[in-house]
Structure 1
Amino acid sequence: MSTPQPPMPQAAAPNWQAAPGPSYPTYTSPIPVVRTHLGHALASEWTKIRSVRSTMWTLGVFVLLVVGIGLGAAALVSANASSEGLAGENPLSFGFFGLLLGSMCIMTLGVLTTASEYGTGMIRTTMTACPSRGRVLTAKAIVFTTVAFVVTLVSALLVAFADVAMLDGAKEPSGEEWLKGTVGISLYIALLGLLSLVIGSIIRHSAGAITIMIGVLLAPLVIALFMFSESLADLRDALFEYSIPNQLSVFYANSLSESGPSGWDPLWIMLGVTAAAFAGAYALLEQRDV
């Protein structure tokens, strides 16, 4: 009978360590590795907004409405009003009608800039490429606001110069009237579009967000028109004075009411509302799943 052999001592596990330097010292990646920043997100959003067909359609209709209605209103007034009747009129104010209708196009584009990505599922790709959600929302806001402001400013300037040339009997606008009737109102409409973009990010549904923004644009004025009771007079006046159509008219010193916002007040009001909505959208974006 054989004698059992004692167990062999186990050898200590080797302490493997990676050799210093790259694992593949002779390989060089053809793709440059750089730290991502806001500029990359801006380039991505600019590529998206200029490559989709909705941008060209909405901005094209916007320019058609602003220029067509603005020039048409001025031509109609010029053909039917005498020089005495035009005395004291601000020729820039005839651009109001086209900008009021055209603002719906800017609001629609603002909603589609964010909400459409949730409908198609593209938002997952966007967030994978740029995990910083706040950076994505900021880039969308910067690109869209810039596009909306530039297109609105160019259209407003074209209408303004043409209306001043056609309405000979009207007064010459002052420097402040030129600034408010072109740059001021362009900033206001760009902020209105940015508010639509933020609402689209919150609602995540294109049709729902567009409906909400059209209600914000028209509902206060329409509701005020049907408030006949004297007990509702204060509420009626507030809705009328702070409605978006009335705020747009303030930029032409042609307010529809004697009280309420004046001067540059509409711009500061819209800036405050948009900033509050943007903060809410930013907080929700960080908390919710895509």
Structure 2
Amino acid sequence: MTTPYQQQPQAPAAPQGPPQGHPPVPPPAAQPGPGPQPGPPSGQPGHPGQQPAQQVPPQAPPQGAPFGGFAGGPGYVSPIPVRRTHLGHALAAEWTKIRTVRSTVWTLSIMALLVFGIGFLVTSFTSGSDYRGTSPVTNGLFGLMLGQICVITLGVLVVTSEYGTGLIRTTFTAAPQRHRVLLAKAMVFITVSFTVTTAVCALTALLASGVHSGPEVAEATGEQWAGVTVGAGLYVSLLGLLSLAIGSLLRHSAGAITAMLGLVLLPTIVAPLLMISESMKPLAETMMDYNAVNSLMTIHQVSAGEDGTKQLLVLAGVTLSALIAALAVQDQRDV
């Protein structure tokens, strides 16, 4: 039995805490002031239980990528062997171009068709009596008068077609030495044009000499054979090389072809008109002797003392001068 004065035992009070469902809010961190902040002692962690950060050594970039993993820098090692370029590489590139474009096939095919076709017609419509004291091996030169225009056109297009399509930028990027590119073009072109022209002229001469034979037909000498084959092919190839140099200087297909046609055909047209004046007669005779049409017809006349050597030398000098000028200008101008 208890008395009123006896105290009843009280239950312990539950600790007060934040309301259920709400996480405790941490006290705001002290903002750093403008001055230097005190830190933990050297070698001690900043907070109890926190381990100091380990120093990770920097990773070296992989071999061949010196700029943070990006390849292509000074230390880049290409898996493809790098060799110093030379003229042989430019020759190989130009040979690939000239044998794969359509202009080469079309121009040389038309030239061969003109030379052989006109030579065949002349041989078919003539007889042995028409060649008294002469040789029929010259029949191929009649078609070559027109066929040389095809070679001139090809010489211009070898250079100007790349300027017209914009491929010349890629060419000069791959081969920064521009004079080497032009020299390779010239070497490849004159080799191709000389080979094809000489072969077609030789085939036409063989056809004519085989059809017309007899006592009334004069036998062609070795010098005449060389004149109508090698000499004619060399003369036309030099004209094409001159066209290549003019095309490199003008860098325009239509302008270069027009200039070369004027150079080839204008002396033949103007020379007879100048013969009327006595004062202009020496100039007219010189133009008649050295124009392209007359040079082709006199390139085989060894017996008359006019074997075309002077015409070949003059054309070679003009072509060489134009090619040197084109090589000198090539490195000084932009694309």
Could you state the TM-score of these two structures normalised by the residue count of structure 2? Answer: 0.74
1:230 equivalent in structure 2: 278
Identity of aligned residues (%): 50
**Partners of 1:197 and 1:233 in 2: how far apart?**
32
**CA apart distance, 1:24:** 5.7
**Partners of 2:92 and 2:205 in 1: how far apart?**
33
Aligned pair count?
Answer: 266
2:245 is the alignment partner of 1:245: no
Please tell me the residue identity of whatever aligns with 1:187: L
Please tell me the residue identity of whatever aligns with 2:248: S
The correspondence for 2:253, drawn from 198, 206, 216, is 206
Contact preservation (8 Å) 1:250, 1:266? no
Map residues 252-263 of structure 1 onto 2, 5 A cutoff. 252-253=300-301, 262-263=307-308
**CA apart distance, 1:28:** 6.3
2:120 equivalent in structure 1: 71
**CA apart distance, 1:31:** 2.1
**Partners of 1:262 and 1:246 in 2: how far apart?**
12
1:56 equivalent in structure 2: 105
**Partners of 1:244 and 1:183 in 2: how far apart?**
16
Map residues 1-290 of structure 1 onto 2, 5 A cutoff. 23=64, 29-78=78-127, 83=129, 85-168=130-213, 169-227=216-274, 228-253=276-301, 262-290=307-335
**CA apart distance, 1:90:** 2.1
**CA apart distance, 1:249:** 1.2
2:12 equivalent in structure 1: none
Higher helix content, 1 or 2? 1
Contact preservation (8 Å) 1:93, 1:254? no
**Partners of 1:254 and 1:183 in 2: how far apart?**
14
Please tell me the residue identity of whatever aligns with 1:220: P
**Partners of 1:165 and 1:248 in 2: how far apart?**
22
Q: Deviations over 1:250-273 (max 9, x none)?
A: 212189xx99x6442222111111
**CA apart distance, 1:23:** 4.0
**CA apart distance, 1:116:** 1.2
1:10 equivalent in structure 2: none
**Partners of 1:98 and 1:281 in 2: how far apart?**
31
**Secondary structure, counterpart of 1:125 in structure 2:** helix
- Extract unaligned runs of 5+ from structure 2: 1-34, 37-59, 67-75
**Secondary structure, counterpart of 2:301 in structure 1:** coil
**Structure of greater relative contact order (alpha carbons < 8 Å, 6+ residues apart):** 1
CA RMSD, 1 decimal:
2.4
Please tell me the residue identity of whatever aligns with 1:224: A
User: Which structure: larger Rg?
Assistant: 2
Contact preservation (8 Å) 1:91, 1:164? yes
**Secondary structure, counterpart of 2:217 in structure 1:** coil
**Secondary structure, counterpart of 1:275 in structure 2:** helix
Please tell me the residue identity of whatever aligns with 2:262: G
Please tell me the residue identity of whatever aligns with 1:217: V
Question: Residues 164, 52 of structure 1: CA spacing in aligned structure 2 closer, same or farther, 3 A cutoff?
Answer: same
Could you state the TM-score of these two structures normalised by the residue count of structure 1? Answer: 0.86
Question: Residues 254, 90 of structure 1: CA spacing in aligned structure 2 closer, same or farther, 3 A cutoff?
Answer: farther
**CA apart distance, 1:30:** 3.6
